[in-house]
Amino acid sequence: MKLVKWTITIGLVMCFVHMVLGQEAVLSNAYNRKCLSLDGHWKYIVDPYENGFYNYRYEPFEYQSNPGNGAFFTNAKRKSPADLVEYDFDKMDSLIVPGDWNSQDDKLFYYEGTVWYKKSFDYIKSEESNSVILYFGAINYTADVYFNSKKLGRHVGGFTPFQFDVTELLRETDNYLIIKVDNKRAKEGVPTLNTDWWNYGGITRSIKVIELPQTHIADYTIGLADDMSGIHGTIQLQGNSKARQQVQLQIDELDIDTSLITNASGQVDYTIIADDIKYWSPDSPKRYAITLTTDADSIVDTIGFRTITTAGSDIMLNGEPIFLKGISIHEESPIRGGRANTREDAEMLLGWAKELGCNFVRLAHYPHNEHMIRLADEIGLMIWEEIPVYWTIDWTNPDTYNNAENQLSEVLSRDKNRACVIIWSMANETPVSEARNTFLSKLATFIKHKDSTRLISAALEQKNYNGNPLVRTIEDPFAEIVDVLSFNQYIGWYDGNIEKCQTISWHIDQNKPVIISEFGAGAKYGLHGPRDERWTEEYQEYLYQETIQMIDQIDQLRGVSPWLLVDFKSPRRVLPNIQDNYNRKGLISEKGEKKKAFFVLRDYYNSKE
Ligand code: GCB
């Protein structure tokens, strides 16, 4: 028999931290919604001069009432490049979506600019009154989206989901979706001009047509109350009948079957006391099947319950101290190459992390695809998620800030119900300045307000203590704001002297957990030699041995995520026969071959509690 559990409204439980739902949040749990996938072959046109977007005065067509009638155009009121005589998509080749263009067309290997994509499809709604949205997993970097000749809007940011409602525009046959994808780097962008990874362009994640009842479950949170007395969260309906609707929340395994009633704005906050929850952890990634049901709608999810906090210099998972045995990962597909975007890619990458003995992964340097997050949740890997606020961002530009905040907000929308995500990282190796401190503090305030169920951090930089190069410290005002003090360090690699590790000591006076978010050395798989010879596997192996000894002396050390699991493509790494466009700091080559240092780290993790 199911017990109806005790439900309290949020007014009575102000002591519980919670997550705030965003106004413009993307649909919660789109991953599990029935959909028509638009993956597959898309026609494409490469447009380096952006003739499909600008007229010969370099004015965008869509902002003009009469753009002029140059020789290139069939009509002056053109709203989409499909109207351009030369732009005959049907005669063009195809690219596979999801996928980057660089690894699909040799001519586009180095290309940074605009490519137009087009896909046609028929669609018959199952209920005439239903709403239909187009859901985009991610497009790098700027996407101008046109549907049936109408501009839906523009999205900026290469690694997060967004959506448009197309209910009014949809027809039963010959719908066509055209997307201008532009991956040009920009000073004011996030990331900015300069990075150490390949700027893969294209529709890199899936696009779905999702049909929803007119009034539907648009957004929800569900998690463990911070005093662990039960579960709590918020549900938000959208649609004409969202007010005073009944929502049934069921978790069979916990005997929970609770009726909730939305308020006038379609929202309900709830807390349900439950004392028999098995908590999620890497050792036991227990998750519960949940169902939310309304008159018209129903959605299932799989949810782990955990708390993550700090106490002095400890990281506490479910109230117990834990050491984060991690590895950093770029979103690149081993063996196949290009952006990783399938469940199989995630299985390979996270499978290797497990083999290393990891309980934690740092997904660098931008939000990774959702398969990574879902799989980590399932197999028990804690995650550090990060936005591409990397190196030298345009700190004083308000648009740049808004862009960064928007990316953070979109990844939060997507992943807020995943227990495995324990850290939001605001930035990587950003130089201290007033403007940067303000920028990062604002981001931290934003995410803390939206989600106090996770820790925040940033990969900071270390420096000499009192001018002494042998004593290292963290001197950064943002160190006062983060929950976890993380920093990157490459002692023994960029200085070329591994023995230096034996002479370094650490002066860290912040009473916070410390994570070494990066260390590493480049090695070409199969290249052997003495341990002081750069690029050999022996050099990398020795650096790992010495670094582990060095950082183990930091009292507050509570985790490490070395740089990194697999060699990855970067235009900065051009040394012939060694790098060949790859950053070689992987413990595994891009072909899947394990280097000697892999086993050093594995042994260290196996020896750690
Ligand atoms: C870093 C960066 C990372 C680079 C790495 C390197 O500090 O955070 O993006 O790839 O160093 O290999 O130098």
pLDDT of residue 70: 30
140/184 Cα distance (integer angstroms): 9
User: Which residue is listed with tokens 């597959």?
Assistant: 40
> Which residues in 294-412 belong to E strands, given as ranges?
298-303, 308-311, 314-317, 320-321, 324-329, 360-363, 382-386
Task: Pick the residue whose CA is nearest to atom 4 on ligand 1.
Answer: 196
Name residues contacting ligand 1 (CB within 6 A): 196, 365, 428-429, 488, 518, 563, 583, 585
Question: For 379-394, what is the mean pLDDT?
Answer: 98
Q: Where residue 393 falls among pLDDT bands split at 50, 70, 90?
A: very high
Judged against a pLDDT cut of 80, whether residue 81 lies above it is answered with no
> What confidence score (pLDDT) does residue 20 get?
58
Tell me what pLDDT residue 54 has: 86
Which residue among 366, 488, 584 is best mutated to probe the pocket of ligand 1, counting the most ligand atoms within 8 A of its Cβ? 488
pLDDT tens, residue by residue, 191-221: 999 999 999 999 999 999 999 999 999 999 9
Q: Ligand 1 mean position to 458 CA, how many Å?
A: 14
- Residue 80 confidence (pLDDT): 58
pLDDT reading at 73 higher than 90: no
Residue-level pLDDT at 575: 98
Q: In what order do the strands lie in the sheet with 131-136?
A: 35-37, 207-212, 131-136, 162-165
Question: pLDDT tens across 100-132, in order?
Answer: 999 999 999 999 999 999 999 999 999 999 999
CATH code matching the domain that covers 310-607, chosen among 3.50.50.60, 3.40.50.300, 3.20.20.80, 3.20.20.70: 3.20.20.80
Half-sphere exposure of 603 (CA within 13 A, CB side): 9
Condensed to tens digits (0 to 9), the pLDDT of residues 529-558 reads 999 999 999 999 999 999 999 999 999 999
The yes-or-no answer to whether 10-212 and 310-607 have a common fold is no
The alpha carbon of 82 is separated from its chain's Cα centroid by a whole number of angstroms, namely 33
Q: Percent of the chain at pLDDT above 90? A: 88
Please give the distance, rounded to the nearest whole angstrom, from the Cα atom of residue 386 to the centre of ligand 1: 14
What is the Å distance from ligand 1's center to 91 Cα? 42
Summarised one tens digit per residue, pLDDT across range 318-361 is: 999 999 999 999 999 999 999 999 999 999 999 999 999 999 99
Residue 275, token pair as written in the block: 């004392």
DSSP state of 25: P
Write the CA distances from 26 to 167, 377, 518, integer angstroms: 16, 20, 32
Give the angle subtended at the CA of 351 by the CAs of 345 and 352, to the nearest 5°. Answer: 100
Q: How far is the CA of 322 from the centre of ligand 1 (A)?
A: 26
Of the residues 194, 425, 583, 584, which should be mutated to test ligand 1's pocket, given the most ligand atoms within 8 Å of the CB?
583
Mutate which of 518, 572, 578, 583 to test ligand 1's pocket (most atoms within 8 Å of Cβ)? 518
The protein residue whose alpha carbon is closest to atom 3 in ligand 1 is 196
Whole-prediction pTM value? Answer: 0.94
Asked if the 10-212 domain carries CATH number 1.10.600.10, the reply is no
pLDDT tier at 52, thresholds 50, 70, 90 = confident
Residue of 275 and 552 predicted with greater confidence: 552
C-alpha of residue 487 to centroid of ligand 1, in Å: 12
Q: Does domain 216-306 have CATH number 2.60.40.10?
A: yes
Q: Is the pLDDT of residue 36 over 50?
A: yes
Contact 513, 507 (CB under 8 A): no
Mutate to test the pocket of ligand 1, among 392, 489, 493, 563 (most ligand atoms within 8 A of CB): 563
pLDDT at residue 74 is higher than 60: no
Atom of ligand 1 nearest to the CA of 493: 13
Atom from ligand 1 closest to the CA of residue 459: 8
Name which residue leads in pLDDT, 392 or 4.
392
Mean pLDDT of the chain: 92
Residue 397 C-alpha to ligand 1 middle, in angstroms?
25
Question: How many Å apart are CA 536 and CA 519, to the nearest integer?
Answer: 17
For residue 575 the two structure tokens come to 């040394």
Helices (H), 286-394: 343-355, 370-379
Give the residue extent of every domain in the chain: 10-212, 216-306, 310-607
- Residue 569: count other Cβ atoms within 10 Å of its Cβ: 21
Q: What is the distance in A from the centroid of ligand 1 to the CA of 196?
A: 7
pLDDT digits (tens, 9 = 90+) for 133-169: 999 999 999 999 999 878 899 999 999 999 999 999 9
- Counting residues of the chain whose pLDDT is more than 70, the rounded percentage is 92
d(CA 456, CA 443): 10
